[in-house]
Amino acid sequence: MQRALKLLLLVLAVVLLPACAEPTPPSVIVWHHYRGKEQEALEKVARAFEAETGATVALLALPYDGYGAKLEAAIPRGNGPDVFLSPHERLGTYLANKLVTPAGGAFPDEDLARYEAASVDAITDGGTRWAVPLATKCVALYLATKYVQTPPETLEELLTAGRAAGKGVVPLAYEAHSAYFHAPFLHAYGGKLFDGKGFAMVGPEAERAAARVAELSRAHDIPEEPSGDLVKQMFTSGGAAAAISGPWLAADLPPEVRYTVVPLPRIDGAGRMRPYLTVDGAFLTPQGASKERARALVRYLGSDASAKVRAAEGKQVVANRAVWGEIDDPVLSAFHEAGTLAVPMPASVAMRATWVPAEQALRKILRGDATPAAALAEAKARYDDVMRPPPPPPSPVPVVLLMGVLLLAGAIFAVRRVREPSFRRELAASVPAYKYVAHAVVTVFVLVVLPLLAGTATSFFAGTRDEPRYVGLTHYIEILTARGQPLLSHGSFYLTLLVTVGWTLVNVVAHVGIGLVLGTILSRPLMRMRAVYRVLLVVPWAVPSYVTALAWKGMFHRQFGAVNAILAAVGVEPVSWFSQFSTAFTANVATNVWLGFPFMMVVVLGALTSIPKDVLEAAEVDGATRFQAFRLVTLPLLKPTLLPAVVLGSVWTFNMFNVVFLVSGGEPDGTTDILVSEAYRWAFARNAQYGYAAAYAVIIFGLLALASRVTSGVGKERGGAK
């Protein structure tokens, strides 16, 4: 009671305090996502501004995840910041949502000379400058002093030096399959990822760049399947002579690692490797634009005084030119130099849809599954497919008609039921029962039925959330006709369904099989330390599935995974697990079996205790061997318990997003994707086609509802026959 009171007071205090304690609101509110030194430097700059102008500046640090969503939610409602800091590549989204205003007075022409040209380019769109550039980020070349002492002029020089480092050292480590890291190669050959309208990584330049990288991979000049962590680990441990990475790598390297950072080299027979440049800008919101002080602050953030603090103390690669003469941090200077050579990342919304197809193409090329020309052409086709304009709005008549017919049928059915006197009697008799279940009904309605209806409704619309466009059943038709492709073509609904069904079958059979064997063994009273084994065997289930999935993904790594290490120990060639459907599928299945068997084991253990011991003894006396007793008595008696568990397990497996997404991630080339992960990609990796993804979800729901109807029907039928 008292505690509740205290709590209430506390809440009131928190709500009311700001209002009374601070009669004058701060003149400028700033949102940012900086941490650590960067944040401290920013605070120092803000204090300096306050001292200079007498304004008050409130800084609010937000987590980077969901930063954009928070801006989108807060600014249009007028409770957002006056100024916010953000990487420039989101500018397209900000413009589309009208979250920013031109920098205007905060960035007058006279300031132009202050900043690096590339940074200014980045924050300029349609001839208007939308922010003040603060700092830049791009990748550069890390050289391990142990192996490479003089900065190489060209990539080829680097490789020669790296190869000389000896066996077990990779000349160059970087995330080759990532389009972001591939961009320097692409730019060196004069190619482009995005041309302002659409996917542009096609044509001879792009092909030559991709071919060059494939060559590196074949020659083992770069590691296989490298992730960011792996690059870091290799460079730290001396397993790589050089690495392409951003400033974040320097922050993670232990002090004993000796290295230098230089801009990326040129490629023989092509130009300089120019990475993408990201620029952190200070943006004015519509609310801030009207404030004199907000504009002043934004301008001040870019000033020499501010830049000096941010560079010296915040270790930022500042966009302001003036300070670079005085900085004696070689790494920082190197990134600055690299930044001046970099290509500003296009900020358009359409740019974002290029990453996934580009990455898929790169993976294919690196594996040698396709020629650069074919893979890139396919990537472009995929991009165009994803970005296709929404279908013309069909007439709503068919849907309305359908709804009408359904409603009418429902009404007729209801009326007929109500007419039956027995029904009315039963209804009257069960009124108290309805009262008891009312809260459950409401809960289920709110938590289950409403989202389902909302999802279904979403599936009838295309376009963005703010501008939905009604498209009727078009999504369903597109899905069910495989978007005009052959029915079993790559990525079609039917092929994915086939994979999903196979995936479910294999998994459930393995779950039940292993669960039965282990459950039976563990139920034996003779076994010593049963309790310990039981706990151990339930562990895979108790660990969050994504942790397990990531661990397994690591174990299946081509070069560094435990699985291949074990295979190598018995003399088997290392397997590139995620480069073929069969092996990638196997890796997924292994992970999911590991995750899923404990559940079945626990079910079996429970069910076994309900089987009377003397029935099994009777079978033994009747002449059964252990196995016969198991097959003829135990198994049939387990069935009633096992059947619902199998149905449940099938549904879980059918929708086992975590494993598929995290282990194979659909590799190779989306072939191991199941329906849910495919739906996810439509929603979150393919230009936010929520409607299309929702249609997928509705179809999945329908399939599962149908399947569980059928299985429970089968169960009943069998039960009845007995």
Partner 1 sequence: MEEGVEPVAGNRPRQSSTASEDTPLPVPAPRSVRCEARGVKKAFGDNPILRGVDLDIPEGSFAVLVGPSGCGKSTLLRLVAGLETADEGTIHLAGRDVTELPPRDRDVAMVFQSYALYPHLTVRDNLAFGLKLRGTAESEISTRIKEASAMLGLDKLLDRLPKQLSGGQRQRVAMGRAIVRRPTIFLFDEPLSNLDAALRAEVRVEIRRLHDRLDATTLYVTHDQVEAMTLADTLWVLNGGRVEQKGAPLDVYERPASRFVATFLGSPQMNLLEGKLEREDGRFFAAGGGIRAIVDEDRFGDALEEGRAVSIGVRPHDLVLAKGEAPVVAELKVELIEALGFEAYAHGWLKSSGPTLIARLEADDARSVKAGVTVPLTAAPTSVHLFDPESGRSLAAS
Q: Is 524 in the site for partner 1 (CB under 8 A)?
A: no
Q: Is 647 helix (H, G, I), strand (E, B) or coil?
A: helix
- The nearest distance, CB 628 to partner 1, in angstroms, is 6
Nearer to partner 1, 464 or 641 (CB): 641
Backbone angles phi, psi at 276, to 5 degrees: -80, 145
Q: Is 270 helix (H, G, I), strand (E, B) or coil?
A: coil
The Cα–Cα gap between 448 and 639 comes to: 30
Structure tokens at 71: 């801006």
The Cα–Cα gap between 122 and 136 comes to: 10
Using the Cα atoms of residue 484, residue 487, residue 489 and residue 491 in order, give the sign of their dihedral.
Answer: positive
Of the candidates 219, 622, 702, 714, which one interacts with partner 1 according to CB under 8 A? 622
The Cα–Cα gap between 633 and 631 comes to: 6
The Cα–Cα gap between 524 and 515 comes to: 14
Q: Is 618 in the site for partner 1 (CB under 8 A)?
A: yes
Of the candidates 620, 641, 657, 715, which one interacts with partner 1 according to CB under 8 A? 620
- The nearest distance, CB 615 to partner 1, in angstroms, is 5
Using the Cα atoms of residue 230, residue 232, residue 235 and residue 237 in order, give the sign of their dihedral.
Answer: negative
| Contacts to partner 1 from residues 325-344, by CB under 8 A | none
Nearer to partner 1, 555 or 619 (CB): 619
Number of residues that bind partner 1 (CB under 8 A): 19
Q: What is the DSSP string of 47-73?
A: HHHHHHH---EEEEE--STTHHHHHHH
Backbone angles phi, psi at 352, to 5 degrees: -65, -25
Q: Is 632 in the site for partner 1 (CB under 8 A)?
A: yes
Of the candidates 150, 160, 625, 712, which one interacts with partner 1 according to CB under 8 A? 625
| Contacts to partner 1 from residues 230-269, by CB under 8 A | none
Of the candidates 8, 330, 617, 631, which one interacts with partner 1 according to CB under 8 A? 617
- The nearest distance, CB 721 to partner 1, in angstroms, is 11
Burial of 57 (0-12, 13-18, 19+ CB in 10 A): buried
Of the candidates 621, 627, 717, 720, which one interacts with partner 1 according to CB under 8 A? 621
Structure tokens at 150: 């003089």
Nearer to partner 1, 428 or 721 (CB): 721
Q: Is 573 in the site for partner 1 (CB under 8 A)?
A: no
- Are residues 337 and 139 in contact, defined by beta-carbon separation less than 8 angstroms? no
The Cα–Cα gap between 462 and 694 comes to: 10
Q: Is 695 in the site for partner 1 (CB under 8 A)?
A: no
- The nearest distance, CB 527 to partner 1, in angstroms, is 17
| Piece of the chain touching partner 1 by CB under 8 A; list 120-128, 448-456, 616-624, 680-688 | 616-624
| Contacts to partner 1 from residues 634-673, by CB under 8 A | 636-637, 639
- Are residues 683 and 690 in contact, defined by beta-carbon separation less than 8 angstroms? yes
Q: How far apart are the first and last CA of the chain?
A: 59
Q: Is 624 in the site for partner 1 (CB under 8 A)?
A: yes
Q: Is 527 in the site for partner 1 (CB under 8 A)?
A: no
The Cα–Cα gap between 281 and 586 comes to: 46
Of the candidates 615, 705, 706, 714, which one interacts with partner 1 according to CB under 8 A? 615
Amino acid occupying residue 240:
A
| Piece of the chain touching partner 1 by CB under 8 A; list 416-424, 481-489, 563-571, 618-626 | 618-626
- Contact map string, positions 409 to 448, toward partner 1, x by CB under 8 A: ----------------------------------------
- The nearest distance, CB 635 to partner 1, in angstroms, is 10
Q: Which residues bind partner 1 (CB under 8 A)?
A: 612, 614-615, 617-625, 628, 632-633, 636-637, 639, 722
